[in-house]
Structure 1
Amino acid sequence: MKKKPIFALLAVVVLVVVIFILTQGNTGKSNAVSVRTGEVKKETIVETLSTTGTLIPNQSQSLMGTGNVVDVPISVGEKVEKDQVLATYDSGLQLTAPFAGTITQVNIKAKQADTNAQQGKPSIQLDDLSTLKVQLELSNSEASAVSVDQKVEISSNNHDFTGKISEKDPVALSTQTATGTNASLGAVVTFDNAPEKLFAGFDVDVSVTTNSVEDALALPIEALTYNDKNEPLVYVLKDGKAKETSIKIGIQSDKLVEVKSGLSEKETVILSPNSDIKNGTEVTKE
């Protein structure tokens, strides 16, 4: 009969031990921060510059006349051949097409005086729309990254095209805006193949390949962060803890960063580390 209290006491002790073990286990888990991770790998990294440009004709010519117009045998939208007569004046002057193209402006009428020169307008505008180019206006930082012959991808209304930088102006031009003076450098993109379903005057998205490295040690860009001195670093996952690691980086794409030093292939890094992640923080993978 005296054994019952002893058994009850033992049961209480066992229960306390179990609760302690469970509590300790749960406490240990709650201290670890759940993180997403990525791996350092060898990759090809392509650095690009994204901007917008304006579609322009392959050739353009503003034709100017003076005097009274006798005949204008063409209209806007009409395709004409090289050397075709576009207008005749009472002085005997004739405006002829310097190349085959499309009439995009007619600012004169028969039996009326041509005063467009005084207004700064062409009498007739001729454009070669058989193919198009893209006019870029580059900022100072963009201009330094762009060179002739760099590869380009052009996108418009879910249509993609390829091309290259064919021209780059030697000097930037300044224009007056509502907020002050704006300087930009002109560059021209030509298509590898004549585009379809594009129209001069519209803007297109342009992605210029400015640099590339094959077989580079690459880091997911989400893992990259900086210290208070603006020096690049990552947190490596090692033995269940976050290890703060300083690195040197090279070129970047929208997804990858080239690692020059500080990491080795196949190391695991923490993605998008938040303020809870410090050097030595216990972490677990999501």
Structure 2
Amino acid sequence: MKKKTIFGILAVLVVMIAIFLIVQGNSGKSKAITVRTGEVKNETIVEKLSTTGTLIPNQTQTLMGTGNVVDVFVKTGDKVEKDKVLATYDNGLQLTAGFNGTVTQVNIKSKQADTNAQQGKPSIQLDDLSTLKVQLALSNSEASAVAVDQKAEITSGNETFSGKVAEKDPAAQSTQSATGTSASLGAVVTFDQAPEKLFAGFDVDVDITTNTVENVLALPIEALTYNDKNEPIVFEVKNGRAKETKIEIGIQSDKLIEVKSGLKEGEKVILSPSSDIKNNTEVTKE
């Protein structure tokens, strides 16, 4: 019985020693968090404003008549030349084309009274569809970034066209809707070359180049985060640990952000730092 007891005690001791060694071995393993890193480099950064606009004719003429219509000489879709008579009235009035264009609306008929003015509609509308442009409605923050002559890219489907900001209204306009009053500032983007197979009335995507800086320090935008004071920070990797570093930032693109102070070229920063990353957290690079 004594031998069995001794053997039992020895077996328990062996198990306890094994557990102790396993625990010690695990405690000796690194608790470092694996991170992805990027490098601070000299780059060219192009800042763009992305918005949506509506294709509109280069020129529009809204022709209004009054009285009884005698004759209508055009139909929707007709291309007409400047000074062509489009319709006549019994009071001697003539509706005449002010430029070469396409008739896009005809709301009158021969031998009938023209009541379109009371309904707020044109009797005939003429549009110059040879060269379209893009009408923008800018928000307050967008309006402050946009200026005349800035370069633009207009995208419709799979096609992209070059252009520029040609006009910017001096004051915003308010509009009333079911949800309240909103204000926007009008601007116009023109094409460098007349586009083909685009149609007035459709929306297009517009990217306006608002700022460009060359040969400046930049870091991947996914490295940027903010502290509890809403100050921009990054986490550098130094001696196997994360070091919280406050930085001053400038303009940004969709991938890069300018670093004005706080970092040097070649330094490594953690990309997309998780909430587990704190100052002095042990880290290891992938």
TM-score by length of 2: 0.90
Over the aligned positions, Cα root-mean-square deviation in angstroms equals 1.8
Opposite residue 274 of structure 2, the aligned amino acid is N
SS in 1 for 2:110: coil
In the alignment, what sits opposite 1:277? 277
In the alignment, what sits opposite 2:94? 94
Deviation at 1:198, TM superposition (A): 1.1
SS in 2 for 1:160: strand
Shift in CA distance, 106/28, structure 1 to aligned 2, threshold 3 Å = farther
In the alignment, what sits opposite 2:171? 171
In the alignment, what sits opposite 1:263? 263
In the alignment, what sits opposite 2:12? none
In the alignment, what sits opposite 1:187? 187
In the alignment, what sits opposite 1:9? none
In the alignment, what sits opposite 2:242? 242
Distance 2:91 2:284 in 1: 89
Opposite residue 96 of structure 1, the aligned amino acid is T
Q: Which runs of 5+ in 2 are unaligned?
A: 1-16
TM-score by length of 1: 0.90
Q: Which runs of 5+ in 1 are unaligned?
A: 1-15
Write out per-residue CA displacement over residues 56-99 of structure 1, whole angstroms, 9 at most, x where no aligned residue.
Answer: 00000100111111111111011111111111112222111100
In the alignment, what sits opposite 1:106? 106
In the alignment, what sits opposite 2:48? 48
Shift in CA distance, 28/187, structure 1 to aligned 2, threshold 3 Å = farther
Distance 1:176 1:241 in 2: 55
Structure 1 runs (4+) deviating above 4 angstroms are 22-30
Deviation at 1:200, TM superposition (A): 0.5
SS in 2 for 1:31: coil
Pairs within 5 Å for 1:115-264: 115-264=115-264
Distance 2:224 2:278 in 1: 14
Write out per-residue CA displacement over residues 147-200 of structure 1, whole angstroms, 9 at most, x where no aligned residue.
Answer: 111111111111101111110000111110111110111000101111112111
Bigger drift between 36-45 and 65-74 goes to 65-74
Deviation at 1:27, TM superposition (A): 4.3
